[in-house]
Each structure stands twice: as C-alpha cells, then as structure tokens.
Amino acid sequence: MRTVFIFMNEASQAVEIPKDMQFEAVAELEIRREGDTVLLRPVRPNWVSFAHEPTASADFLAERPCVLKTDYFDLSGAGESSEEPGQ
C-alpha cells in the first residue's frame, strides 16, 4: 500500500493522487467516509444530471428510415367483435 501526504488547501484537506492512480476523463468525484476509510469514485450519471443535458434540435430524427416491420400481424379487424364481452 502506498502513502501520500495530506496538505491544507485553504480550509480543506487535500491529497495529490499519484499519476498511475488518477481518474481519466473525470471532472467530479463522489466522496464517502466508511469508518476510517475515505472512498472516492467518479460521479455516475443519474436522472437529475440527465435533465441538465442539452436538448435535441427540433428537427432531430425528422427524416429517418422506417425500421418497423408492419407485416407481422394483420390488425385491420382488431376490436371489431359482434359478441358482447362475457357471452
């Protein structure tokens, strides 16, 4: 197990993460204490962060190929019954 020094950064304690342990392409970490252990992990996207994502343009997918097959079932007579339910 490696050790690192703790230093003060204004009113907070800080540590320098060694290069081989750095988080790649991560801008924000979650931090949690479990007893005398402090755990760091990348913030994972959630529904709150999803709401802050940019919205699609008005013409997004306006023109797209049809990917649905419509010949699986013939539903042209669906819902047309001469019998009453329960008879």
Query: What digits encode the pLDDT tens for the residues 27-58?
Result: 899 999 999 999 999 998 888 878 888 898 88
Report in angstroms the alpha-carbon separations of 32 from 3, 37, 43, 74, 81.
19, 8, 12, 56, 62
Q: Residue 1: what pLDDT?
A: 86
Tell me the pTM.
Answer: 0.49
DSSP one-letter string for 21-58: GPPTT---EEEEEETTEEEEEEPPP-HHHHHTSPPPPT
